[in-house]
Amino acid sequence: MEKDLNFRSAFNFVAERYPVSAELRNFLVAGGFEVGVHGLYHDGKKFKSRKIFNERAPKINHYLREWNASGFRSPAMYCNLDWLHDLDIKYDCSTFDTDPFEPQATGVGTIFPFFVQGRPGGKGYVELPYTLVQDLTLFVILEEQSIDIWKHKLDWIVQKGGMALILVHPDYMNFNGKQSLDEYPASRYKELLEYVEDRYKGLYWNALPGEVADFYNRKVKGNVPPRVEKPSRVCMLVYSFYETDNRVIRYAETLAKRGDQVDVIALRKKGQPYCEVMNGVQVFRIQERVKNEKRNLDYLTRLMRFFFLSGALVTRKHLENPYDLIHVHSVPDFEVFAALVPKMFGAKIILDIHDIVPEFYASKFEEGSGSIFFKLLLLIEKLSARFSNHVIISNHLWWETLVKRSVSAEKCTVILNYPDPDIFYRREKHDNGNKTVILYPGTLNWHQGLDVAVRAFGGIRERVPSAELHIYGEGVSKEYLAGLIGELGLKDRVFLRDPLPIRDIASVMADADIGIVPKRNDSFGNEAFSTKILEFMSLGVPVVISSTRIDRRYFNDSVVRFFESGNVEDLAAALEATIKDKGYRQELAERGLDFVKQFNWKDRKEVYLDIVWSLLH
């Protein structure tokens, strides 16, 4: 219900009375939710005496560590804020502003988070009181038949600029719409979420408790110590072109801007210098590459050459002046072993998986999951993850896959390809005259489905004479696409152009009328998240995308126009309808701008900086 309405919450579990599986906890976290500890037994005894609390605190801390949780909520809202310092928590949710129906009925009298100072030399935690009455109290005890009390209190909180925090219990909800002595219709909670979105759209932050605690510590309390006591030395290894790889640029420039020394070892295009400083990042281009690998052996040969060259360079530079952190970007996974010597001398290693390799390989070279090469890549994935100190993965579906087969949940973090708002922002659009420009920027591989887009455009060219399709990119399918464009007689309407640096392509994308992401839903494309969608949204450009599992997870029909993946006729219909209805395009653009507010690098970079901090301190 929450996912359908684009909300996320924290699920708090009673650790020993109602055991929950790691599979369920991982499923929730992978979906963008949070997991917290709700005591051990829910028997009301934990705060009955200091002796009982002292006996239970170590067990609670055990579950906090095992679940990778940072928050606690006491059963029945019993609490002693001073005793809670014995728990290894970032935040607690065991209080309320005012509620005379609670067993321990003294409220804290505030609708804002507050900091509970630790003992001398100890750390404190953020307290998050609930400010909307619990569902149990409202519907089961008081037998209210509407959510008016929730609405009135929420409106008052908004007027005061406060925090709306509500506790609801799925076990008290009836999903068949019935009211009973101990259950209420789940539709009432849904009605509240719809009320929040309809009345306060674009005006609220749907934050998880841990995110609120981080925000309070960083922005209000100033409680978080500086992330670096001295500038760190960081090296990034990436088998791609740095100036067109938005994900690598974001990491590197974020670290450089805060004072770290950042080197990047990457590929070189013909005519580029070997070494160049770009926005404070020193880029070493050690190997030329043309993206035309059509055979496994060609691809592997070039990967291995880069592996040895990058390993030699990072080793030499580390021995001259040691690196603190080596951030390795995959594909390929085994590139992490190029950092073997730095790791032996104490450097920490991050493996950042842009594309999950076994599935990527199977798609690129049409190999099945039962092939020996696929199984070998699975083994390499496991060994690479084990060698690394932390693994970053680029979407939640792949996080689920990795956690099942190669890495523990505690050692793996999802960081999407968030747009950088300093690059991707709404700007004044240049006039395209009478033309309607449809644009695709990115890699030209089979799984990207550009041939489907070209054929679909060919089917409507007579009905939309003002439209043009512009494709910017490089890849193994480029030659085939050029031939297809000629075969269909589309050279005057479909334009195949070279890729541009990230800042230049952002300007080109901003001038487009429609963005298109026509991925195939094969084993790789079905789960590969495309940052181009969020980038188009950030620029105020409506997007037509294929209906894949990953994109249905993050988006809905209100913010993008879906078509059936691989279906030429359905894409043609979607394009024609979008081209002809300017009002619809404007609606999609505006809703996309609202949607992307919660998905940008400026707000999410702290996740990456937290990982770096935890590894280096």
Residue 548 near residue 558 (C-beta atoms within 8 A): no
Choose the CATH number for 233-417 among 3.40.1160.10, 3.90.1150.10, 3.40.50.2000, 3.40.50.10860. Answer: 3.40.50.2000
- SS3 (DSSP) at 387: helix
Min mean pLDDT across 106-115, 274-283, 408-417, 513-522 is at: 408-417
pLDDT of 373 = 78
Beta bridge partners of 544: 516, 561
User: 567-614: per-residue pLDDT in tens?
Assistant: 999 999 999 999 999 999 999 999 999 888 777 787 778 889 888 988
Longest dimension (CA), the chain: 83
Residue 2 CA to residue 194 CA, distance in Å, equals 10
Residue 237 near residue 255 (C-beta atoms within 8 A): no
Side chain identity, residue 20: V
pLDDT of 26 = 81
Say if residue 273 is preceded by a cis peptide, omega within 30 of 0.
Answer: no
The answer to whether residue 228 scores a pLDDT higher than 50 is no
Mean pLDDT of 446-472: 94
Residue 431 CA to residue 310 CA, distance in Å, equals 45
Residue 76 CA to residue 93 CA, distance in Å, equals 11
Assign 365 a pLDDT band (cuts: 50, 70, 90): low
More confident residue, 164 or 375: 164
Residue 163 CA to residue 177 CA, distance in Å, equals 29
Query: Matching CATH topology for 10-221 and 436-598?
Result: no
The answer to whether residue 106 scores a pLDDT higher than 70 is yes
pLDDT of 227 = 47
Any idea where the domains of the chain sit in the sequence?
10-221, 233-417, 436-598
Residue 83 CA to residue 48 CA, distance in Å, equals 12
Residue 512 near residue 439 (C-beta atoms within 8 A): yes
The answer to whether residue 121 scores a pLDDT higher than 60 is no
Instruction: Assess if CATH 3.20.20.370 describes domain 10-221.
Output: yes
pLDDT of 226 = 47
Min mean pLDDT across 281-295, 315-329, 360-374 is at: 360-374
- SS3 (DSSP) at 173: strand
Residue 597 near residue 421 (C-beta atoms within 8 A): no
DSSP 519: -
Residue 521 near residue 566 (C-beta atoms within 8 A): yes
Mean pLDDT of 111-139: 87
Q: Which of these, 327, 326, 321, lies nearest to 343 by C-alpha position?
A: 326
Residue 128 near residue 213 (C-beta atoms within 8 A): yes
Beta bridge partners of 34: 10
- Please compute, for residue 72, the number of CA atoms within 13 A of its CA located in the half-sphere on the CB side: 28
CATH (residue range 436-598): 3.40.50.2000
pLDDT of 177 = 80
Mean pLDDT of 524-538: 87
pLDDT of 350 = 97
Residue 365 near residue 392 (C-beta atoms within 8 A): no
The answer to whether residue 387 scores a pLDDT higher than 70 is yes
pLDDT of 363 = 65
DSSP code string of 218-251: IIII--SPPS-SS--EEEEEESS-GGG-HHHHHH
Q: Which of these, 70, 616, 608, 234, lies nearest to 389 by C-alpha position?
A: 616
Mean pLDDT of 347-361: 88
> What's the predicted TM-score (pTM) here?
0.64
Min mean pLDDT across 252-256, 425-429, 538-542 is at: 425-429
pLDDT of 120 = 62
Min mean pLDDT across 28-32, 161-165, 465-469 is at: 28-32
Side chain identity, residue 533: I
**Rounded mean pLDDT of the chain?**
89
